Structure 1
Amino acid sequence: MHYQIRQGYWRSDTDAPVRAIDDIGLPGSTAVVGADFPGLRPTFLVAQGDEVTAGQVLFTDRNHSQIAHVAPCAGTVAQLEYGPRRTLSACVIKPVGKTTSAAQQVTPLDDSTDVSVRHVLQGRGMWPAFRTRPFGRTPAPDDRPFAIFVNAVQGAAAPDPHVVLDGRMEMFAKGADVLTKLTDGLVHVCQSKGAPLCPVTNRVRVTTFGGTMASALAGTHIDRLCPVQSGRQVWTVGYQDVVAIGHLFATGQYAADRVVAVGGPLLESPKLVRTILGARIADITANHIADGANPVFRSGTPLNAHEAVFLGRFDMQVTATPRPVSKVQASWKSWLSFTQGALIPTASLDRALAPRVLSVPLMRALSVGDSDAARRLGCLALVEEDVAILCRLCTSGADYRVLLRHVLDELMEDAA
């Protein structure tokens, strides 16, 4: 089945997709960043200066000790930082070398039951690849979703999944099959038009999406195929993480490699590079930006990019833009420039969200922190990436991603 999405922001890029992948090797540093896991409070099992191996447990979730976060590569723990209320800020690792695949022992892992699959995914660092709807958090160890959504739809300027999965289709199919052990429902593989990325079975369904940039959002797929309802939870996971899950169960080895699209006005043309999770963005782009440039690095999609030092856990795109020149203004002009404007309803706002949510009433509820009204309007079906377009179209200057996160956190606490 194919869905043509008409709501949302239409793509403006017309560049031909990049098909060659540059292998840039290990970055100078890599990190697990707390911003990717809201509210996570770590229990560190390593100390600054410790040597770690690829896949070694760095810390566990204090609330769920079964869920481990692991090192993406061998190296030295360079920095451990806490954020507010002892949440995770960052765990930085400086790579010291790369273990060759020939030296690694291939040991297939048990994927015959739900219990064995959960034990492996939680203890070997792959459980944090899942995110829940509602709330956009890492699932609890005992959660069982109504369905699982694998997002393999190519976004604007993002890597083409068919290119990324070239030579890895078997591992992707293996990973999709493993996911069926975690749910009694379907595993939905959502992709762009083209040859199916994996075999269709009675538990794995392939659906294609196209149209606006919203067609690449997991929230759009969920809205069309399995809308979030009271008491029903679904999970989302990226297609490159599904490959890593298949690789883990087939070989017993943790795979942290990630193909990332590198773009921005400081590059002559877009590039695809192969790096690892949490890589320092300056290292990813080092060979593609002219010497002497002073760029601002952003991680995420064009509509949901945020300034960052390290590649986001769920991101497959980074951009490099010129650093803006600061201008000195009179104090009263500076105050006016940061004053939030009025929310003016427009036709573009009404069509902004692909999920069937009333945009303007939701924006008003989020602006005043009315969590009850936001819940009635359907905010539980959304996460930050779904409302990023509102920040671009709205005249008020409000960041609806931050406002939505506050409301979701409040609703989650009330539901606990």
Structure 2
Amino acid sequence: MSKDIRVRKGLDLKLKGEADKQLVQAPQSAIYAVKPTDFHAVVPKLLYKEGATVKAGEPLFYSKYDEKVKFAAPVSGTLVEIVRGAKRKILEVHIKPDGTNEAVNHGKLDPATAGADQIRETLLESGCWPFIIQRPYSIVANSEDTPKSIFVSAYTTAPLAGDAEFIISDRMEAFQAGITALSKLTSGAVHLGVKKDSALTSVKDAVIHKVKGPHPAGNVGVQIHKIDPINMGERVWTVGAEDVVTIGNLFLTGTYQPERTVALAGTDVAEADRKYYRFIAGANVNTIVKNVNTQKTRIISGDVLTGDKLSNDQYLNFYHNTLTLIPEGNEYALLGWLPFTRNSVPSNAGTSLAKLFGGKKKVDTNLNGEERALVVTGEMEEVMPMNIYPLQLIKACMSGDIEKMENLGIYEVAPEDFALIDFTNTSKLEAQETIRLGLDLMITEVG
């Protein structure tokens, strides 16, 4: 039986450049990368040196603070380079595929009959554990924790983001196996958020929630807040829809197969190329996007509100299902600061005709103003569907006041929940960055 959730506050950004629901098998990448920087708060400890030969699913490094959590090679081949940054920080581990994709076999396992300890150990040894993200803090889950519930969102509301339900629609057996496996790891329930007319309502071993409302209704943080809020000392886990498929495949086949289906979207993508591309996780951007002039075009791993800026030769984020290309905001409109002069730009402001008239808009990276000491009362609350005070929480994070952060709901939020505030707030402050710094302080001081 499903339970409905209605989200009233928020904002749907209707943008041009959406990917058509056509699935294409992408060519193999020349190099694959596993990036420790994708896993926030993880300090990697390498297991191999350059020149080593590895199989798919073989651990490349583990977490310094939780040695059971291992990060595996997505393909078989040769470890050709370890990219380091300042103070020899490990940024990327590069693997050149050998074409065979020989994988470590962990043995098939029926999650319906397997015990929780057996499932946990298989996930840790295979490299699938990093798919499990814990709230609070939005970091890779601790291997010793038992969450009070697990959340999976198959409802996508972020602008131009890949449709989660379409991405998993041809692999429902693996998705069901993954849900069943996850249900053994919690003392509570697995909660699956879906759209109103979803085909996923028949999924077993999960409580189905039909979610309706504008973005960020599809964010797991909003769904957690509505269904099973987090209190101090509690843990809730979240897993992406396609990551559930990868977990399910592990039990069905015995091997680690980190496929990533990416929606190539944005107005700077040729219309014929706006499709869904499936390849092995860790592929280079130039596998599906070539010869982009980054002076004119922004390449974003993820959606336009929360994604990471990339160059032509970088690699997709471990968790992202969207690659967005939009114009750089380096062209300025004459007197663009005046009301009613930029009506083709998406806006939540009452002085813009774009809010009054429908239709999809073209977006670029222009901030349309600089950061300023200006706060409009009630502006942030308009797009924040959670029962918290966003402005006060941001201020508490800026000042490092741990007690106020706790009282104002820091345990319930992640940076992505503040993405619309970044977009709509008049002061142009970086709300997501501020919340991330606040969460990092809580990890250090509270744990």
Structure 1 and Structure 2 fold alike (TM over 0.5)? yes
1:12-38 deviation line (CA, Å, top 9, x unaligned): 147776221111122232222233212
User: Offset at 1:261?
Assistant: 0.7
Aligned counterpart in structure 1 of residue 163 of structure 2, from 152, 160, 163: 160
* Secondary structure in 2 matching 1:188: strand
User: Offset at 1:153?
Assistant: 0.9
Aligned to 1:380: 411
Amino acid at match of 2:119: V
Q: Is 2:302 the counterpart of 1:271?
A: no
Q: Distance in 2 between matches of 1:267 and 1:339?
A: 28
User: Structure 2 vs 1, CA of residues 351 and 325 (structure 1 numbering), >3 Å: closer, same or farther?
Assistant: closer
Q: Distance in 2 between matches of 1:106 and 1:57?
A: 13
Q: Distance in 2 between matches of 1:137 and 1:105?
A: 28
Q: Is 2:280 the counterpart of 1:249?
A: no
User: Offset at 1:127?
Assistant: 0.5
Aligned to 1:330: none
Please provide the CA RMSD for this pair: 2.7
User: Offset at 1:43?
Assistant: 1.4
Q: How does 1:137-176 map to 2 (within 5 A)?
A: 137-155=139-157, 156-176=159-179
Unpaired stretches in structure 1, ≥5 consecutive residues: 328-336
User: Offset at 1:48?
Assistant: 1.6
Q: Is 2:213 the counterpart of 1:211?
A: yes
Aligned to 1:36: 38
Q: Distance in 2 between matches of 1:69 and 1:168?
A: 24
Q: How does 1:359-370 map to 2 (within 5 A)?
A: 359-370=390-401
Q: Is the 8 A contact 2:58 2:104 kept in 1?
A: no
* Secondary structure in 2 matching 1:189: strand
Q: Is the 8 A contact 2:371 2:428 kept in 1?
A: yes
Identity over aligned pairs, percent: 27
Q: Distance in 1 between matches of 2:259 and 2:417?
A: 26
Aligned counterpart in structure 2 of residue 397 of structure 1, from 425, 428, 434: 428
Q: Is 2:316 the counterpart of 1:311?
A: yes
* Secondary structure in 1 matching 2:60: strand
TM-score (norm 1): 0.88
Q: How does 1:348-363 map to 2 (within 5 A)?
A: 348-363=379-394
Q: Distance in 2 between matches of 1:84 and 1:113?
A: 44
Deviates most, 85-94 or 103-112: 103-112
1:365-386 deviation line (CA, Å, top 9, x unaligned): 2333333322211121111111
Q: Is the 8 A contact 2:106 2:126 kept in 1?
A: no
Q: Is the 8 A contact 2:19 2:263 kept in 1?
A: no
User: Structure 2 vs 1, CA of residues 147 and 221 (structure 1 numbering), >3 Å: closer, same or farther?
Assistant: same
User: Offset at 1:84?
Assistant: 5.9
Aligned to 1:20: 22
User: Structure 2 vs 1, CA of residues 147 and 266 (structure 1 numbering), >3 Å: closer, same or farther?
Assistant: same
User: Structure 2 vs 1, CA of residues 84 and 366 (structure 1 numbering), >3 Å: closer, same or farther?
Assistant: farther
Q: How does 1:53-64 map to 2 (within 5 A)?
A: 53-64=55-66
Unpaired stretches in structure 2, ≥5 consecutive residues: 333-367
User: Offset at 1:3?
Assistant: 1.8
Aligned to 2:361: none
Aligned residues: 402
Q: Distance in 2 between matches of 1:395 and 1:368?
A: 21
Q: Is 2:417 the counterpart of 1:415?
A: no
Q: Distance in 1 between matches of 2:294 and 2:36?
A: 31
TM-score (norm 2): 0.82
Higher helix share: 1
Aligned to 1:132: 134
* Secondary structure in 2 matching 1:274: strand
User: Structure 2 vs 1, CA of residues 169 and 313 (structure 1 numbering), >3 Å: closer, same or farther?
Assistant: same
Aligned to 1:223: 225
Q: Is 2:315 the counterpart of 1:284?
A: no
Aligned counterpart in structure 1 of residue 117 of structure 2, from 115, 118, 134: 115
Q: Is the 8 A contact 2:16 2:267 kept in 1?
A: no
Q: Distance in 1 between matches of 2:436 and 2:292?
A: 37
Q: How does 1:170-209 map to 2 (within 5 A)?
A: 170-197=173-200, 199-201=202-204, 203-209=205-211
Deviates most, 252-261 or 90-99: 90-99
Aligned to 1:331: none
User: Offset at 1:157?
Assistant: 2.2
Q: Is the 8 A contact 1:282 1:297 kept in 2?
A: no
Aligned to 2:337: none
